[in-house]
């Protein structure tokens, strides 16, 4: 897409977001899907959540629709899934601060933590394994911890220090307190799609491992992993959207 096309796409998304924020919510359900990672480090294990979002955008036909939104410091794309609307988000903040971008976008679109899906890497699962989880602890993942804290999610106060200070895996920083726009309602569980990246043999190698790029052998395994991750995520969203539309 050329500069003119990108400009038009940006204008369309800006107007669409304004309608989403200012107008009453449509009948279809809306969900926010955030791929966690470090901006500027594509292809690394720690940013596999962003790789899933890229694959998801291609599946949904919005791969050329990413637009930077300065209000939440993130790239956003809007997509349709049946009657539901998906807000795809890739933070432009470091992993440890991803939650500020996610929480700000949730506020703009009027969503609660239960309507926000996190997609992130998982050290304790081997590459090739993907799983959905509702709530649970951050397990040392500072990107997840940041989102829980900023969104006031179910276990946002269970802070478990990790062995190192690598972005996304170390002890929480003072900036990761609940953001001023986070809701004051009781904590809510947030669905998370965990994408296994495996764990290095030596614990002291975690930092280099997660910030390193996938090996050539691992890169061959990635396409079907991204496909399964997208399938699992979309199937779950479809089911929840149908349950929501059918009512109690």
Active site residues: 46
User: What DSSP line would sit under 54-93, residue for residue?
Assistant: HHHHHHTT-TT--EEETTTTEEEEEEEETTEEEEEEEESS
In angstroms, the CA 116 to CA 109 distance is 11
User: What DSSP line would sit under 205-241, residue for residue?
Assistant: GHHHHHHSBPPHHHHHHHHHHHHHHHHHHHHHHHHHH
In 196-216, which positions are buried (b, 16+ CB within 10 angstroms) versus exposed (e)? bbbbbeeeeebbebbbeebee
Contacts (Cβ under 8 Å, ≥6 apart) of 64: 1, 5, 6, 9
In angstroms, the CA 210 to CA 208 distance is 6
Taking alpha carbons only, the member of 114, 117, 159, 116 closest to residue 141 is 159
Taking alpha carbons only, the member of 130, 35, 24, 121 closest to residue 77 is 35
């Amino acid at each position: 897409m050329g500069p003119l096309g990108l400009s038009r796409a940006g204008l369309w998304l800006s107007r669409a977001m304004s309608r989403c924020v200012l107008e009453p919510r449509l009948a279809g359900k809306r969900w926010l899907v955030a791929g966690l990672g470090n901006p500027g480090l594509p292809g690394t294990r720690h940013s596999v959540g962003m790789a899933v979002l890229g694959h998801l955008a291609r599946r949904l036909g919005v791969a050329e629709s990413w637009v930077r939104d300065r209000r939440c410091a993130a790239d956003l794309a809007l997509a349709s899934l049946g009657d539901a609307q998906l807000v795809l988000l890739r933070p432009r903040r470091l992993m440890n601060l991803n939650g500020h971008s996610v929480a700000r976008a949730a506020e703009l679109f009027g969503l609660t933590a239960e309507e926000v899906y996190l997609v992130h890497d998982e050290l304790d699962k081997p590459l090739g394994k993907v799983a959905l989880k509702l709530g649970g602890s951050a397990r040392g993942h500072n990107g997840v911890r940041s989102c829980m804290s900023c969104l006031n999610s179910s276990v946002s106060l269970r802070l478990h220090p990790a062995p190192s200070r690598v972005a996304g895996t170390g002890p929480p920083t003072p900036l990761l307190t609940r953001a001023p726009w986070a809701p004051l309602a009781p904590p809510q569980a947030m669905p998370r799609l965990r994408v296994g990246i495996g764990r290095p043999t030596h614990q002291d190698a975690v930092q280099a491992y997660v910030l390193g790029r996938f090996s050539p052998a691992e890169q061959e395994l990635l396409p079907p992993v991204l496909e399964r991750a997208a399938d699992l995520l979309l199937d779950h969203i479809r089911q929840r959207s149908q349950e929501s539309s059918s009512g109690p």
